[in-house]
Amino acid sequence: DVKVTQSSRYLVKRTGEKVFLECVQDMDHENMFWYRQDPGLGLRLIYFSYDVKMKEKGDIPEGYSVSREKKERFSLILESASTNQTSMYLCASRTIRTGDRGYTFGSGTRLTVV
């Protein structure tokens, strides 16, 4: 089975800090995604990457950036954390090589900004 690993399950950071959320997948998937999930708002796409070194803005990229220097790793960066970035962050990956195009999600990082 594909494994998508997010480095932290819970994280507490201070306002203004630079925050790095790491995601690693072990099945050579081309595409990787970062979502945030908030009550009443569902899952919203922040950034995605079709392949290494590539990145595309999702629906809510403001205040975030990403890095994908290696195929297996996709990092989400909060340049200057703010309290409205308190949320559950979910990383996902998928391959386009097979007929099943579903995403596999990591276990999530619950970030609290104080």
Partner 1 sequence: QKEVEQNSGPLSVPEGAIASLNCTYSDRGSQSFFWYRQYSGKSPELIMSIYSNGDKEDGRFTAQLNKASQYVSLLIRDSQPSDSATYLCAVIYNQGGKLIFGQGTELSVKP
Which residues, in sequence order, are bridge partners of residue 21?
76
Going by C-beta distance under 8 Å and a sequence separation of 6 or more, which residues neighbour residue 4? Answer: 23, 24, 25, 91, 92, 93, 104, 105, 106
- Considering beta carbons, is residue 69 or 100 the nearer one to partner 1? 100
CB of 41 to partner 1, least distance (A): 8
CB of 49 to partner 1, least distance (A): 11
Is 2 buried (19+), middle (13-18) or exposed (0-12) by CB count in 10 A? Answer: middle
- Considering beta carbons, is residue 47 or 113 the nearer one to partner 1? 47
Residues of this chain that interact with partner 1 (CB under 8 A) are 33, 40, 42-43, 45, 48, 50, 58, 90, 92, 96, 99-108
The Cα 89–Cα 96 span in angstroms is 23
CB of 6 to partner 1, least distance (A): 9
